[in-house]
Chains A and B, each alone.
Chain A
Amino acid sequence: DTEVTQTPKHLVMGMTNKKSLKCEQHMGHRAMYWYKQKAKKPPELMFVYSYEKLSINESVPSRFSPECPNSSLLNLHLHALQPEDSALYLCASSPLGGEGQPQHFGDGTRLSIL
């Protein structure tokens, strides 16, 4: 079990659907992240939120829309996805300030686009 909770664990959706991935942490971390991981590949950073504000967007297509409603929650809204977007989506969090602060990952949402 991890201290970063992601729901749902699995999601199958069509290309015209709208769905949301959710992430929650109660460690008091003020930085939260979304990563995409394809099979046998490393995680790729998508977005970084610090103090609930978007600080990094790694040129992610607009069909992915992040939201940080408060310091404990991070959402990823999905709309009009493509089959190549099928992947494991990982949320992570870390403290802000100082070096050596590891990111703690959730178990991920395995997304399949039909």
Chain B
Amino acid sequence: GQNIDQPTEMTATEGAIVQINCTYQTSGFNGLFWYQQHAGEAPTFLSYNVLDGLEEKGRFSSFLSRSKGYSYLLLKELQMKDSASYLCAANNDYKLSFGAGTTVTVRA
């Protein structure tokens, strides 16, 4: 089975940094994706990790530890437009199993 956990909500101030943690237990694992989803819109791809370590893409970074079944998404220099749901998804042979999503609210 698949078990993917992430916090339900986080709030941060514009310009700050927020770290969204994700822990997973899956029967197979090919890597971990992070998606952003604004209300009423499609999920959009943010990052992918298959090996342990940090992947940096501009203001967004993602980290993976396969031995610990743990990942995080780091959002730096928060902007109001970053208010959205962030979905952690474990990949197993083209099947994505999503966490429930973390709603991030950015305050001015």
Residues of A within 8 A of B (CB): 2, 4, 31, 40-45, 48, 50, 55-56, 90, 94, 96, 99-100, 102-108
- Tell me the nearest residue of chain A to B49, going by C-beta: A100
Expressed in whole angstroms, the minimum distance between the Cβ of A45 and any Cβ of chain B is 6
Q: Is the CB of A107 within 8 A of B94?
A: no
Assuming the contacts A41-B100, A90-B42, A99-B31, asked whether A48 and B50 have C-beta atoms less than 8 A apart, the reply is no
Q: Are B30 and A99 in contact (CB under 8 A)?
A: yes
User: Could you write out 20 A-B pairs with CB less than 8 Å apart?
Assistant: A4-B42, A31-B94, A40-B101, A41-B100, A42-B87, A42-B98, A42-B101, A45-B95, A45-B96, A48-B94, A48-B95, A56-B95, A96-B94, A99-B50, A100-B48, A102-B33, A105-B42, A105-B43, A105-B44, A107-B42
Say whether, besides A42-B98, A42-B101, A100-B31, A107 and B45 are in contact (CB < 8 Å): no
